[in-house]
Amino acid sequence: MTDASLREIALISVSIDLGAGRRGVDMGPSALRIAGIAEALEAVGHRVHEGGTIAAGGLETSDPGDAALRFLDEVARVTARTRFLVSRALGEDRFPVILGGDHSLSIGSIAAVADHFRERRKPIGAIWVDAHTDLNLPETTPSGNIHGMPLAVLMGRGDGRLTGPVPSLRPEHVCVLGARELDPGEKALISEMGVRVFTMSEIDARGMAPCMDEALERATDGTAGFHLSFDLDVLDPRFAPGVGTPVHGGLTNREAHLVCETAARSGRLVGLDLVELNPVLDHRNDTAVLAVGLVASALGKTIL
């Protein structure tokens, strides 16, 4: 890493599990901090600043509302606050690292990054590293859990209280890496919108390196850069047991590091989410320790 690539980093914690179907990912930010995320980034050479903490209301005290959009009011409040904190960090020339929390938080984080570069008349791309595509709509969701909808929301599809007036992402600049569990409505939307999805089957056949290279090309073509939204359930549960919605047959530890190392080498990374860590299901905080290493790789840590 050269001195020119060192960053001022804003760590932002978003403690929310209302977008998910299982409790516990709201404790993810604390587990990542206990695992030493700030120290790991400082060891790479970055300067780390506290960017703020957001806590969602409790399950018992929050109104679940519509069964097709569970806890919409509270999720909308948290994502709006996330958007504000990320916008503030970017305004201070700090690179935002957002710790979750369920994946609904990305509605706010990526919207803020898109806002920032829209002012410079440039779109952003997104690489969504996830076992799921998160492309459900209120009319297609089998669960009503909003963490299954954020990528659709960011492309302007879904409830207007979440999408806002202007989409944050264009489908031609979006890629999903590692998908292996899709709902019928998501498959239809992928076909309609033309989102590039690299399934685990394709990654197995081609290898992660060419798939990630293709994803980078798409996410950076004509954009200001790309946001990396990393859901830990993309990893196989053998490596990452402490996740909200584990799905067997996922990435290995090294494949995940390759994604992050390639993102760092590109020089085009403009924001990073790390989501769906569930300490309740983890073993000795092992998943959190792995996650800290992945963030360090995405921000420049190398083997040599």
Q: Which of 103, 173, 227, 257 is catalytic?
A: 103
Pick from 58, 145, 143: nearest CA to 104: 145
Q: Which of 17, 102, 130, 186 is catalytic?
A: 130
Beta pairing partners, 127: 175, 228
Pick from 282, 281, 297, 285: nearest CA to 129: 297
Under a CB-based contact definition with an 8 Å cutoff, are residues 128 and 176 in contact? yes
Q: Which of 46, 116, 132, 227 is catalytic?
A: 132
Pick from 216, 213, 118: nearest CA to 167: 118
Q: Which of 147, 173, 227, 257 is catalytic?
A: 147
Return the amino acid letter for 273: D
276 part of the active site? yes
26 part of the active site? no
233 part of the active site? yes
End-to-end, the C-alpha distance of the chain in Å comes to 10
Cα dihedral value 223, 215, 182, 163, nearest 10: -10
159 part of the active site? no
- Per the rule left: phi > 0, alpha: psi between -120 and 50, beta: everything else, 125 is beta
Tokens found for residue 87: 């916008």
Neighbours of 92 (CB within 10 A): 11
Contacts of 142 (CB under 8 A, 6+ apart): 136, 183
132 part of the active site? yes
CA 167 to CA 164: how far, in whole Å? 7
- Report the sign of the C-alpha dihedral through residues 294, 295, 300, 304, in that order: negative
CA-angle at 133, arms to 32 and 63, nearest 5° = 70
231 part of the active site? yes
Q: Which of 74, 233, 255, 282 is catalytic?
A: 233
CA 274 to CA 32: how far, in whole Å? 10
Neighbours of 77 (CB within 10 A): 17
Q: Which of 17, 231, 236, 261 is catalytic?
A: 231
Task: Please give the positions annotated as active site.
Answer: 103, 130, 132, 134, 147, 231, 233, 276
